[in-house]
Amino acid sequence: MKKWLIKYISSHLTAVVLLPCFLLAGVIFYDVSISLNKMSDAKQVESNAFLVHKVLNLVHETQKERGSSAGYLGSKGQLFKQDLSNQHNSTDNKLNELRKTIKKYGASSSIENHLNQFVTTFSDIRSIRNSVTNLSIPTADVIKFYTDINKDGLSMVIEAGRLTRDALISKELFSIYSFSSAKEASGIERAVLSNVLASDNFTFELRNLHIKLLTEQDVYIHEALDASPPQMHDIFEQVLKAPEFESVNRYRESVKNKNNGFGINPTDWFQA
Per-residue confidence in pLDDT tens, the chain, 272 aa: 444 334 433 433 333 333 344 444 554 555 555 555 554 445 666 777 788 889 999 999 999 999 999 999 999 999 999 999 999 999 999 999 999 988 887 666 678 888 989 999 999 999 999 999 999 999 999 999 999 999 999 999 988 888 877 788 888 889 989 989 999 999 999 999 999 999 999 999 999 999 999 999 999 999 999 999 888 888 888 888 888 788 888 999 999 999 999 999 988 898 77
Sorted by sequence, the CB contacts under 8 Å of residue 57 that are 6+ apart come out as 29, 94, 97, 98
Does residue 169 contact residue 31 with C-beta atoms inside 8 Å? no
Q: Residue 77 gets which letter from DSSP?
A: T
pLDDT of residue 251: 92
pLDDT of residue 43: 67
**Residue 223: alpha-carbon gap to chain centroid:** 17
pLDDT of residue 23: 43
DSSP sequence for 187-243:
HHHHHHHHHHHHHT---HHHHHHHHHHHHHHHHHHHHHHHHS-HHHHHHHHHHHT-T
Angstrom distance (rounded) from CA 139 to CA 142? 5
Does residue 236 contact residue 27 with C-beta atoms inside 8 Å? yes
pLDDT of residue 42: 58
Angstrom distance (rounded) from CA 111 to CA 48? 7
Does residue 169 contact residue 161 with C-beta atoms inside 8 Å? yes
Exposed, middle or buried: residue 59 (CB in 10 Å: 0-12, 13-18, 19+)? Answer: buried
Can you say whether the dihedral through the CA atoms of 236, 240, 243, 248 is positive or negative?
positive
Does residue 73 contact residue 31 with C-beta atoms inside 8 Å? no
Helix ranges restricted to H, the chain: 2-16, 21-37, 43-74, 81-104, 109-120, 125-133, 139-162, 167-199, 204-227, 230-240, 244-256, 266-270
Does residue 199 contact residue 74 with C-beta atoms inside 8 Å? yes
